[in-house]
């Protein structure tokens, strides 16, 4: 099998980004597809579909927390590794990759232990009722068994993409997605396992994705191999990895916090039906943020590598390209959701009551969706260039400082009631997105104007 590798230092910046981003978007689309299929099947379990979907939705904050730790190490070590490659320091890059792997494994074991010990009080804290807990508990008990597989597949995949192997990174997700789509109906309906079947299908799929990542990163086709000698933990490197990865961690962690607060608040003001509506809205949001995630994740290693080489002109081109594409796409997505909201709600559940409440909630939740692109773009640039403090601050600012308080306070306004929970999201997109993007323009672009390192790079290569 021919393995294509993108050289981030030559050719068109736009082509470099797309060569990594397009496979990642395809992979995320497939990953999203199997998550959607998962929820579509669960939502159609005879007689209990709506309750089962709501129960599994209550597990999302726990799943998001696991993802947060993969971002803490994977999204921290990946850009640092790409920068070292840009500087020509392969030994340092290998050590960063090895330390990331060790931290992912250790953290995965700890998270699995905590999850099994405290899942019941956690689920009730997250908004479960006596009616929905049996479904949530049945799903999360099995899902936690695959924690280490998730940590490896999601946390180590950036090291495949950051070496220019976008197609191979896509296969990591493709393997899990295809397996999950095939196994879901088998375990849910044929074996009559319900939500437990969905969880079993998921961990089997994650296992094979993890095996693929390890096989590729220890194989002959990569320039940086995952070596046991590089796995010895060096705390200075771990601190550097966590310092950069903490922004992605906080973004995911605060997403989990917001999900918890939303579910708990909706349980008070609207009951299980509105918790189900929020589960559907979160699923629809995943559909429409997927291309933005794919593009920004694809642009990140290109920016990191060229920033390490001091090719600042190429970094500026990458920033401009990502901004234009992300904003244009999210305006289009907002329009689609405005015109045909019911189509996307029916993907997950066709119960008349849920659709009736879901359509107005969706219109509110996705109002001004284009401002979210500014947050993703600004955040991507800060992480790619190693601006850990700014990346961390804006991760906290939008979710913890804006969304969470608004989710609690707005429903108390009589004119808003339960709709206040849904208004918190567009308000945070406007304020947080603009603040993040404008700060990026004011702080990063002046630095990139100081000098363009292309001449320096060419001179050094000709020595």
pLDDT at 115 > cutoff 90: yes
List the Cα angle 109/56/176 in 5-degree steps: 60
Please give the distance of CA 162 from its chain centroid, rounded to a whole number: 17
> What's this model's pTM, rounded to 2 decimal places?
0.71
Closest by CA to 362, choosing from 336, 401, 398, is 336
Model confidence band, residue 2 (pLDDT cutoffs 50, 70, 90):
low
Is-contact 182 198, C-beta < 8 A? no
Is-contact 144 195, C-beta < 8 A? no
pLDDT at position 273, please?
87
Those residues whose C-beta lies under 8 Å from the C-beta of residue 243, and which sit 6 or more positions away, are 76, 388
DSSP single-letter state for residue 223: S
Q: What is the pLDDT of residues 163-220, one digit of tens each?
A: 888 788 888 888 888 888 889 889 988 898 888 998 999 999 999 999 999 999 998 8
Model confidence band, residue 230 (pLDDT cutoffs 50, 70, 90):
very high
Model confidence band, residue 147 (pLDDT cutoffs 50, 70, 90):
very high
Average pLDDT for residues 267-284, to the nearest whole number?
86
pLDDT at 250 > cutoff 60: yes
Q: What is the pLDDT of residues 193-208, one digit of tens each?
A: 888 998 999 999 999 9
pLDDT at position 435, please?
96
pLDDT at 459 > cutoff 50: no
pLDDT at position 254, please?
79
Q: Which 3 state secondary structure label does DSSP give 72?
A: helix
Average pLDDT for residues 444-453, to the nearest whole number?
72
pLDDT at position 172, please?
85
pLDDT at 414 > cutoff 70: yes
Is-contact 382 390, C-beta < 8 A? yes
List the Cα angle 13/295/293 in 5-degree steps: 155
Model confidence band, residue 57 (pLDDT cutoffs 50, 70, 90):
confident
List the Cα angle 372/377/383 in 5-degree steps: 125
Range scoring the smallest mean pLDDT among 48-52, 151-155, 222-226, 388-392: 48-52
pLDDT at 454 > cutoff 90: no
pLDDT at 337 > cutoff 90: yes
**Alpha helix segments (H runs only) across 166-234:** 166-185, 194-217
Range scoring the smallest mean pLDDT among 110-114, 267-271, 450-454: 450-454
pLDDT at position 399, please?
83
pLDDT at 319 > cutoff 70: yes
Average pLDDT for residues 93-119, to the nearest whole number?
96
Model confidence band, residue 461 (pLDDT cutoffs 50, 70, 90):
very low
Q: Which of 222-226, 318-322, 352-356 has the highest mean pLDDT?
A: 318-322
pLDDT at position 408, please?
92
**Alpha helix segments (H runs only) across 309-369:** 312-339, 341-345, 352-365
* DSSP assignment of 401-427: IIIHHHHHHGGGSTTTTTHHHHHHHHH
pLDDT at 43 > cutoff 90: no
Those residues whose C-beta lies under 8 Å from the C-beta of residue 362, and which sit 6 or more positions away, are 281, 284, 337, 341, 344, 345
Q: Measured between alpha carbons, how far is 299 from 197 in angstroms, rounded to an integer? A: 37
pLDDT at position 262, please?
87
Mean pLDDT score of the chain, rounded to an integer? Answer: 86
Closest by CA to 289, choosing from 15, 28, 37, 105, is 28
pLDDT at position 310, please?
87
Q: Helix 147-161 crosses helix 90-125 at what angle (to 10 degrees)?
A: 140
pLDDT at position 97, please?
96
pLDDT at position 400, please?
85
In this structure, how many other beta carbons lie within 10 angstroms of the beta carbon of residue 387? 20
Closest by CA to 293, choosing from 81, 10, 71, is 71
């Amino acid at each position: 099998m021919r393995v294509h590798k993108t050289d981030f230092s030559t050719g068109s910046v736009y082509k470099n980004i797309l060569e990594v981003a397009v496979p990642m978007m395809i992979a995320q689309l497939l990953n999203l597809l199997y998550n959607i299929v998962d929820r579509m099947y669960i939502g159609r379990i005879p007689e209990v579909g709506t309750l089962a979907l709501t129960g599994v939705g209550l597990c999302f904050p726990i799943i998001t927390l696991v993802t947060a730790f993969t971002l803490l190490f994977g999204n921290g070590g990946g850009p640092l590794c790409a920068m070292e490659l840009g500087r020509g320091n392969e030994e340092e890059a290998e050590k960063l990759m090895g330390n990331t792997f060790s931290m992912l494994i250790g953290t995965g074991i700890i998270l699995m232990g905590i999850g099994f010990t405290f899942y019941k009080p956690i689920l009730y804290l997250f908004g479960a009722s006596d009616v929905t807990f049996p479904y949530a508990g049945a799903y999360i008990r099995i899902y936690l068994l695959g924690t280490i597989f998730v940590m490896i597949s999601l946390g180590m995949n950036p090291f495949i993409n950051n070496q220019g192997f976008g197609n191979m990174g896509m296969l990591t997700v493709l393997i899990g997605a295809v397996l999950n789509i095939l196994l879901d109906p088998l375990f849910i309906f044929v074996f009559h396992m319900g939500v437990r079947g969905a969880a079993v299908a998921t961990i089997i799929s994650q296992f094979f994705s993890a095996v693929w990542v390890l096989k590729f990163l220890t194989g002959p086709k990569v320039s940086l191999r995952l070596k046991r000698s590089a796995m010895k933990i060096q705390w200075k490197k771990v601190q550097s990895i966590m310092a950069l990865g903490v922004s992605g961690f906080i973004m995911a962690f605060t997403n989990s916090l917001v999900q918890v607060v939303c579910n708990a608040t909706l349980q008070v003001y609207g009951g299980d039906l509105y918790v189900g509506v929020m589960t559907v809205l979160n699923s629809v949001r995943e559909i429409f943020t997927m291309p933005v995630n794919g593009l920004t994740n694809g642009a990140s290693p290109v920016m990191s590598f060229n920033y390490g080489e001091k090719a600042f002109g190429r970094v500026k081109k990458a920033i401009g390209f990502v901004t234009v594409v992300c904003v244009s796409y999210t305006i289009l997505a907002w329009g689609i959701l405005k015109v045909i909201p019911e189509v996307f709600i029916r993907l997950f559940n066709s119960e008349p009551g849920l659709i009736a409440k879901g359509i107005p909630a969706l219109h509110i939740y996705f109002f001004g969706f284009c401002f979210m692109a500014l947050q993703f773009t600004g955040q991507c640039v800060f992480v790619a260039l190693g601006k850990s403090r700014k990346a961390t601050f804006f991760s906290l600012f939008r979710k913890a400082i804006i969304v969470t308080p608004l989710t609690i306070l707005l429903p108390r306004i009589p004119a808003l009631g339960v709709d206040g929970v849904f208004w918190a999201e567009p308000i945070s997109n406007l304020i947080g997105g603009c603040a993040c993007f404008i700060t990026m323009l004011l702080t990063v672009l002046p630095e990139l104007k100081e000098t363009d390192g292309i001449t320096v790079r060419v001179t050094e290569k000709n020595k």
